[in-house]
Amino acid sequence: MDNKTNRTSPEYRFPQGFWWGSAASGPQTEGAADQDGRKPSIWDYWYSIEPNCFHNDVGPENTSNFYHMFKEDIQLMKETGHTSFRTSIQWSRLIPDGVGDVNEKAVTFYNQVIDELLANDIEPFMNLYHFDMPMCMQEKGGWESREVIEAYVNYAATCFRLFGDRVKHWFTFNEPIVPVEASYLYDLHYPNVVDFKRGATVAHHTIVAHAKAVEAFKKLNVDGKIGIILNLTPSYPRSQDAADVKAAHIADLIFNRSFLDPVTKGEYPKDLIEILKDRELLPIVEPGDLAVIRDNPIDILGVNYYQPRRVKAKEQSVPAGNPFMPEHLFDPYIMPGRKINPHRGWEICEEVIYDIMMDIRDNYGNLPFFISENGMGVEGEEKFRNEAGFIEDDYRIEFIQEHLKWVHKGLQEGANCLGYHLWTFIDNWSWTNAYKNRYGLVEVDLQNNYKRTIKKSGRWYKTLAENNGFTVG
């Protein structure tokens, strides 16, 4: 007998009720930037003064037109197997002046989106802030301002009251460390500040705003769960040499534990406090801050995973007088032979998602969490279009499969993972990169009335969701 007939292909089945879906954001998909009462965010303002900072000068008004096409898009979500979908409410649309009157046209829009999702058996997951500070709030100092904290908490409570009867999964922030890094450390995003202490203030105020929003959620007795979405980039040392291991620990404190610990354990890591205290970089902590952080842990965590961080011990001293940066304490390390996405420049290392799951299991009380973003951006995807007219993105299918194998292993070993969301449902505008890299299960043709076409990965994703897993071979 041919031995091949006795072989069985590996199967990866997931728990009943496992969430299959994708993630997006209001500012990256809605469009209609100046319609129906919405006022500018920092992205609209920055584009108005420096359009050359954006790939091909494409700004935030040229997104995927979800504002006008959400019914069609939700049907496409159903066609691609979604049982859940995360997006965000735009503060600048719902409360255009940051505080004060609610925009009723925005209320109508978000109600329609939520109701349409539910009518199609897709659970809405709603995030409140995705890098999109209203410009009127930035003029008050953005997250450096205590006034803005209170305005955000009012905005959050307004959302809970308006939509909490149907939305059962809420998230206060998506990747809150990104505005710290990009806007206050590395001169990548508006307001283009390079000042670590101001960045530390932004981080602390964001965590206070988060905790106060969780507190408001609980006081309103909203029927649901509330959490936060963090991009976790585990830090790996070049070697097991003590200096390399210490460098990785420091990087982990700054880029992961700085947010993960306060929102789950209610306190900042002591090692991180000592590092900042020694350099006189601690933000001002006002009375009540630490108590509200301590008393309002999250119910659920969203984990965005794209790539690891690899570091080594610092090899050269930093010249005196240079503004402090995290990289004064370690050097980045390029691991030989690493697999890389050449379009994005990011390392692809699937097993890291398992390490994250084990860390949450072992060091964070096995908190309920889900993979809230994971995806692969590819430039020039049109070259993969087949004769039938759709994109054959087998590389994306392989990317998802290889990550899900490690998610499956983590589940088998007891991690409390509830679902998987791909970034993203439809090709969308991605900040300064605009439409340079495409991530979607669905292609959008900006030159042809925003025409949508499901990619091969979108058809595959439906099969994945319907089977609650996949078979290899």
Least Cα distance to 257 among 268, 246, 245 occurs for 268
Q: What are 333-385's pLDDT values in tens digits? A: 999 999 999 888 899 999 999 999 999 999 999 999 999 999 999 999 999 99
Burial level of 223, CB count in 10 A (0-12/13-18/19+)?
exposed
Question: Does 314 have pLDDT greater than 90?
Answer: yes
Contact partners, residue 62, CB within 8 Å, separation at least 6 = 31, 429, 434, 446
What is the rounded average pLDDT for all residues in the chain?
95
The pLDDT value given to residue 318: 87
Catalogue all structural domains in the chain, each as residue range(s) with its CATH number.
3-471 (3.20.20.80)
Q: What are 96-134's pLDDT values in tens digits? A: 999 999 999 999 999 999 999 999 999 999 999 999 999
Q: Say whether 215 is catalytic.
A: no
Q: At what angle do helices 196-219 and 146-163 cross, to 10 degrees?
A: 30
- From the candidates 175, 350, 381, 443, give the one annotated as an active-site residue: 175
What one-letter code names the amino acid at 162? L
Q: Say whether 175 is catalytic.
A: yes
- Give 407's Cβ-side CA count (13 Å radius): 28
Q: What are 399-447's pLDDT values in tens digits? A: 999 999 999 999 999 999 999 999 999 999 999 999 999 999 999 999 9
Q: What are 99-108's pLDDT values in tens digits? A: 999 999 999 9
